[in-house]
Amino acid sequence: LHHIGLQIGRVFERAEAERISNEAQNELTVQVEERTTALKKTNDRLRAEIDRHKQTEDALRKSEERLDLAFKGSSDGLWDWNVLTDEVYFSDRFKELLGYGPDELPHTFESFSSHLHRDDQDLAMEAIKLHLEAQLPYEVEYRLQTKDGDYRWFLARGQAVWDSENQPIRMA
């Protein structure tokens, strides 16, 4: 009888252990399903974000192609001056107009100002100053010295960008 009682006790213990194990398994299954659902939602958001980035990149590429085509279709030399760092981007065409190759003209404002004809320096620099400080339109004619020492006339037009405190940050 004692032996039967022990076996019945073990059966109940096993049944209780199985019940606890099943509850734990069910709880884990619920947690896995919840986590899987959350991961699927995150994955969907990431896919949407990637799609938006791809669309933005595509729009940027098309815009750059249009701008590049406009540059190539123009005979103008283009420049873009970062007023804060003094770095200037000179287009290859700008350099070509002065007789320079693509890598021959340093990308500094001094590269521009040192090529100004001495009789045009005050006028050219005053036009820049008035544009940056008073936001007057920038349009000025001046001569720039070419690589071979001659001077060529240029008509320059530009537009600056100012920060929230009305300080110039860029001009092109």
Length of the chain: 172
Say what the pLDDT of residue 8 is: 78
Say what the pLDDT of residue 58 is: 95
* Phi, psi of 139, rounded to the nearest 5 degrees: -155, 120
Query: Whole-model pTM?
Result: 0.66
Query: Which residues fall within 8 angstroms of residue 146, CB to CB, at 6 or more apart?
Result: 97, 98, 99, 152
In this predicted structure, the answer to whether residue 5 has a pLDDT above a threshold of 80 is no
SS3 content of the chain, % helix, strand, coil (to 5): 55, 20, 25
In this predicted structure, the answer to whether residue 24 has a pLDDT above a threshold of 80 is yes
- Give Cα 147 to chain centroid, integer Å: 34
Say what the pLDDT of residue 3 is: 75
DSSP of 110-140, one letter per residue? HHHHTTB-TTTHHHHHHHHHHHHHH---EEE
State both tokens at 146.
């070419």
Say what the pLDDT of residue 163 is: 96
What is the β-pairing status of strands 160-162 and 168-171?
antiparallel
**pLDDT tens, position by position, 46-105:** 999 999 999 999 999 999 998 888 877 878 899 999 999 999 999 999 999 999 999 999
